[in-house]
């Protein structure tokens, strides 16, 4: 019997031969690539779709969230900042010192401006009540703290000014009968009342000063028709820490639409002020601190001032920038305190501006940058950036044919005091607003990133699928060459081609 001869290559160790055979067998099966490539392609499609979705929905989604935070509802960001105002506030007072008070009638009244007397303000809202109609009722409490370091003078400075108590008393009974008016004139003579007074700044502001006319008016039956709310007089007497002075406010929270946030609905339980006639008595615009988003330059803004007992309209002035934020500046103009000369609708504001009377006094130097009332708002969200509420108190001085103190008085608007209430956004708050504004543009970048990534994955998966199809059509001859190439790569470097061919023969 002939035994078959087993041919082996003595130069190839048995272990190496087996390892090589194993390697050759591992290269023969084709790995199915269609499933992972298809999954990657699907992932790319998801990225593309999500990018398109972000592009068209992200901004509306984010704005909806921000608008909810702009509403004055419990727990909102706006409510927290509005209730306990974190914005630094201060008020500066300036007095007109009457330097030629002894020469009234013979000389033009002349004034020197004293101040500023600066007070830092801490403000909070009290007596909060949410109503079912989407409004909020509240009071404002403010505390003034004298800032001597940043003031130009002390509260002990003395000022010559018009006797406001005497003039108010004379105006209060100007329509009474002659007997009552002569009684007041006699009483003033008895008390030594003069047309001017000389008082300390602190007394004219918060401390108040006593006047015998106040005590007389509150005690004498003849003057029972007069309302005398205080025992002293001062422009801000009993106002420090008071919750009642500014009145009772009823404001829209924005639940009826964010475009209504901050709108004043009622003041002291009425929708009119009661201080003026007709439309001039209406409550219009904001309660003074909150404004709706998406402001338009052409419309201007309206706001209510409890100090003036009226609403005022500010018109667009210019675009400004602060802490990297763009702001619309709305300022008072010649129409803001017009008395009907420019706009007949303002005729019912009997205390309107009379430029003619400014020419009858000396020492007033109006400068727009220093005296203009304005408020700067971030237009997208309506957030106040810079506020300068500037007002001046004047008293109309007129002659009186019965009250002897005022018989020789000229007809002028007498300047008493002017003040500015300032508040501005902090760098930290500005950074939060910038972040919110930037977030509204993220949809573009997210959409682009998702789109590029999705397109890249789709392109790669398409490329792999095409290459896979091409490889599936390889001929037997090409396959044999591919197998030899695989062995060449697998076999140790430095071996002769002859040895590799022997190895293939042994495997076959």
pLDDT, position 8? 45
Q: For residue 311, is it within any domain? A: yes
Are residues 225 and 372 both part of a single domain? Answer: yes
**Structural domain span for residue 501:** 478-508
Report residue 42 as tokens: 């699907």
69 closest CA partner among 82, 84, 58, 57: 82
* Sign of torsion over alpha carbons 198, 199, 200, 205: negative
SS3 of 488-505: the string is: HHHCCCCCCHHHHHHHHH
Percent of the chain with pLDDT over 90: 51
Q: For residue 388, is it within any domain? A: yes
Q: For residue 8, is it within any domain? A: no
488 closest CA partner among 503, 475, 474: 503
Please write the tens of the pLDDT for every residue from 350-381: 655 555 567 789 998 888 889 999 999 999 99
Chain centroid to CA 423: 11
Q: For residue 228, is it within any domain? A: yes
Q: For residue 294, is it within any domain? A: yes
Are residues 246 and 269 both part of a single domain? Answer: yes
Chain centroid to CA 409: 47
Are residues 226 and 321 both part of a single domain? Answer: yes
Q: For residue 373, is it within any domain? A: yes
Coil, helix or strand at residue 84:
strand
407 closest CA partner among 396, 417, 420, 398: 398
Is 245 exposed, middle or buried (CB count within 10 Å of its CB: 0-12, 13-18, 19+)? middle
Q: Where are the beta strands (DSSP E) in 21-104?
A: 89-98
Q: Are 187 and 222 within 8 A, CB to CB?
A: no
DSSP type of residue 100? T
Are residues 141 and 202 both part of a single domain? Answer: yes
Please write the tens of the pLDDT for every residue from 62-119: 778 888 889 999 889 899 989 988 889 999 999 999 999 999 888 999 999 999 999 9
Are residues 389 and 306 both part of a single domain? Answer: yes
Are residues 468 and 501 both part of a single domain? Answer: no
Are residues 42 and 62 both part of a single domain? Answer: yes
Are residues 386 and 464 both part of a single domain? Answer: no
Are residues 207 and 325 both part of a single domain? Answer: yes
Q: For residue 283, is it within any domain? A: yes
Higher-scoring residue by pLDDT: 476, 212? 212
Higher-scoring residue by pLDDT: 507, 43? 43
Which residues, listed in sequence order, are joined to residue 362 by a DSSP beta bridge? 110
Q: For residue 18, is it within any domain? A: no
Are residues 223 and 262 both part of a single domain? Answer: yes
Place of tokens 């999954």: 39
Are residues 138 and 82 both part of a single domain? Answer: no
Domain count, the chain: 3
pLDDT, position 54? 63
Please write the tens of the pLDDT for every residue from 275-305: 888 888 999 999 989 999 999 999 999 999 9
Indicate whether this model's pTM tops 0.85: no
Report residue 9's pLDDT band, with 50, 70 and 90 as the boundaries. Answer: very low
Q: Is the peptide bond before 133 cis (omega within 30 degrees of 0)?
A: no
Are residues 420 and 487 both part of a single domain? Answer: no
DSSP string spanning 286-351?
B-SS---SS--GGG-EEEEETTTTEEEEEEEEEEEEETTEEEEEEE--TTTT--SSS-GGGTT-TT
């Amino acid at each position: 019997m002939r035994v078959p001869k087993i041919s082996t290559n003595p130069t190839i160790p048995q272990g190496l031969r087996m390892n090589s055979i194993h390697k050759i067998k591992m290269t023969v099966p084709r790995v199915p690539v269609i499933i992972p490539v298809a999954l990657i392609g699907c992932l790319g499609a998801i990225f593309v779709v999500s990018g398109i979705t972000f592009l068209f929905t992200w901004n509306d989604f984010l704005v909806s969230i921000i608008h909810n935070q702009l509403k004055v509802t419990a727990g909102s960001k706006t409510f927290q900042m509005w209730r306990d105002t974190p914005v630094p506030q201060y008020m500066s007072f300036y007095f007109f010192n009457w330097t030629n008070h002894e020469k009234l009638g013979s000389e033009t009244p002349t004034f020197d401006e004293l101040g500023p007397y600066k007070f830092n303000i801490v403000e909070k809202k009290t007596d909060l009540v949410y109503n079912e109609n989407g409004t909020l009722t509240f009071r404002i409490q403010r505390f003034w703290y004298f800032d001597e370091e940043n003031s130009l003078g002390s509260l002990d400075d003395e000022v010559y000014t018009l006797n406001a108590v005497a003039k108010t008393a004379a105006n209060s009974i100007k329509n009474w009968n002659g007997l009552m008016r002569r009684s007041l004139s006699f009483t003033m003579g008895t008390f030594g009342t003069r047309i001017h007074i000389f008082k300390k700044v602190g007394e004219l502001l918060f401390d108040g000063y006593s006047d015998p006319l106040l005590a007389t008016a509150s005690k004498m039956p003849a003057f029972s028709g007069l309302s005398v709310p205080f025992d002293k007089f001062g422009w801000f007497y009993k106002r420090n820490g008071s919750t009642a002075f500014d009145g009772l406010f009823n404001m829209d929270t924005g639940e009826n639409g964010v475009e209504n946030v901050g709108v004043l609905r009622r003041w002291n339980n009425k929708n009119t002020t009661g201080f003026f006639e007709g439309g001039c008595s209406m409550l219009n615009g904001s309660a003074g601190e909150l404004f709706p988003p998406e402001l338009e330059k052409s419309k201007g803004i309206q706001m209510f001032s409890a100090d003036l007992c009226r609403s005022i309209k500010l018109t667009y002035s210019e675009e400004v920038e602060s802490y990297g934020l763009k702001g619309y500046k709305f300022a008072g103009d010649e129409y803001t305190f017009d008395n009907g000369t420019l706009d007949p609708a303002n005729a019912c504001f009997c205390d309107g501006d009379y430029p003619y009377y400014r020419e009858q006094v000396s020492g007033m130097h109006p400068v727009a940058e220093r005296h203009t009332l304005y408020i700067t708002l971030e237009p997208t969200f309506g957030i106040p950036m810079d506020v300068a509420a500037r007002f001046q108190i004047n008293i109309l001085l007129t002659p009186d044919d019965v009250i002897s103190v005022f018989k020789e008085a000229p007809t002028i608007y007498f300047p008493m005091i002017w003040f500015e209430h300032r508040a501005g956004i902090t760098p930290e708050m500005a950074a939060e607003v910038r972040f919110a504004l930037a977030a509204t543009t993220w949809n573009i970048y997210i959409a682009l990133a998702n789109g590029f990534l999705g397109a890249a994955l789709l392109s790669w998966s398409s490329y792999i699928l095409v290459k896979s199809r091409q490889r599936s059509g390889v001929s037997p001859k090409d396959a044999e060459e591919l197998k030899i190439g695989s062995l060449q790569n697998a076999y140790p470097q430095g071996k002769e081609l002859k040895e590799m061919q022997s190895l293939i023969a042994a495997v076959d």
